[in-house]
A and B are shown apart, each in its own frame.
Chain A
Amino acid sequence: MQRENLAIAFTPADSPASQMSEQVLVDRIRAGDSAAFDEVVRRHHERLIQFVYRVVNDPDDAADVAQETFIKAHRRFGEFRGHAGLFTWLYRIAYNESISLLRRRKLRSYLRLGSDGTVDQSWDPALSIDDDPTAEMESEQLQQQVEAAAAQLPPRQRAIFSMKHFEDMSHGDIARVLGRSEGAVRANYFHAVRKLRQYLSQTGLLDPQP
């Protein structure tokens, strides 16, 4: 295929599409309006990338999975019925893609093809702290411990915790994303918090503050 055939024209951020409601965008995407889909990507990609990052724990993989999520969403847009919100639907695809990536990662580790199977601990957090170097170090240590605690959780529990606390999603919405019952989601959430408490307790972070 000729490369020049792939010339891509982006819709400017201040285009009419940026003012449209989600329902109008959905209708226009169904009618084949690529500018409307660009707008969906523009609106949701940052949140989606952060969500995937919390599940897969790697920035490059997070961007790749989010990208693949939007490409799949475009291909399968006919399957979107609108019962749940568009973002919930995108989350569902992103979650499935994340799990698929983790399985491939595990497989690579099993086949000894480069990956050593350990969780990539390359968080690169943006620190928003004072100039006090002690405070900076403490904050960094705290983040590392919280990150290590989160890494203890299985991917599904990480995803549930992330959706509940970072996306303010209800257990019902999370259940729709994961394709599980609300009760199962609640049980997984409680299990995740119990595990986090246990880990943080072992590291002394839950000791009474002086």
Chain B
Amino acid sequence: MPNHLHPNHLHDDELIALASGEGEAPKHLKDCPRCALRFKEFERTLALTTTSMPQMEWNPLQSGGFMHQVRRGIELQSAPRPVPWWQPALGGAGLMLVVLLAFQAAVDQPALEQDSLLASESPDTIDFDEEGLSRILVDGSTGFEYGETVLNDEDDELLILIDAYLIDTATEDELMMSLGDLTEDGVGAAFDL
């Protein structure tokens, strides 16, 4: 039987636990040179990393400044935030825009239905669609200009948010929240620590 498969040999996790001061060493550890050597290695690993791990230099004089910053942050967050004068106006304008768009959509709906009816009666339209589809499937060409990307809604939202982040109108937290929503997405996975 190969040495590493010996049934009495201690598993690495057991050796680490022992080297970390958990439990008592079994007799096998004294008798087996292989386990003893490995145990020593874990012991030395822990000794080196715990004694030679660098510490951050911290001067007690820095504590005053640190506490001042904390207190200031607390004061700032508990102070009421003034509402900019333009915010209520912007809210009103936004509401008005929504109402106008809804009205426009209601007016356009009958015309769209009529266009759709006409289009379904035209054989040319059907041929064009099939041709376009086969171009995508066979040639790999989408008919878009070079540099254009076909995006799904999620990607589109993400890129808009990244653009907003780049020009400082979105916070990192907003962006991270959006990435968090895209857990299945490759980009989202890239940021998952």
Contact = CB atoms under 8 A, between A and B. Distances in A.
Interface of A: 1, 5-6, 8, 10, 34, 37-38, 41-42, 45-46, 49-50, 53-54, 59, 62-63, 66-68, 70-71, 74-75, 99-100, 102-104, 106-107, 110-111, 113, 123-126, 139, 142-143, 146-147, 149-150, 154-156, 161, 164-166, 186, 189-190, 193-194, 196-197, 200-201, 205-206
5 contacts: A5-B79, A38-B67, A38-B71, A146-B49, A193-B19
A197 B42 contact: yes
Given A107-B172, A107-B176, A150 B53 contact: yes
Contacts of B53: 54, 143, 146-147, 150, 166
Contacts of B116: none
A71 B77 contact: yes
Given A45-B63, A67-B69, 6 more contacts: A5-B75, A6-B76, A49-B56, A107-B172, A123-B54, A200-B44
B63 A59 contact: no
A190 B72 contact: no
Contacts of B13: 186, 190
A194 B44 contact: no
Given A104-B172, A161-B49, A190-B16, A124 B79 contact: no
B165 A111 contact: yes
B57 A124 contact: yes
Interface of B is mostly: helix
Nearest to B172: A104
Contact of A193 (B45, B69, B79, B193): B45
B193 A6 contact: no
B162 A1 contact: no
B57 A71 contact: no
Nearest to B12: A194
B48 A50 contact: no
Contacts of A124: 54, 56-57
Interface residues of B, number: 48
Nearest to B71: A8
Given A10-B68, A45-B63, A46-B63, A1 B79 contact: yes
B54 A147 contact: yes
Given A10-B71, A99-B193, A102-B193, A200 B48 contact: yes
A172 to B, nearest CB: 13
Contacts of A142: 48, 52
A193 B16 contact: yes
Contacts of B71: 8, 10, 34, 38
A104 to B, nearest CB: 5
Contact of A107 (B54, B63, B77, B175): B175
A42 B67 contact: yes
B56 A50 contact: yes
B85 interface: no
A154 B193 CA distance: 8
Contact of A10 (B48, B67, B75): B67
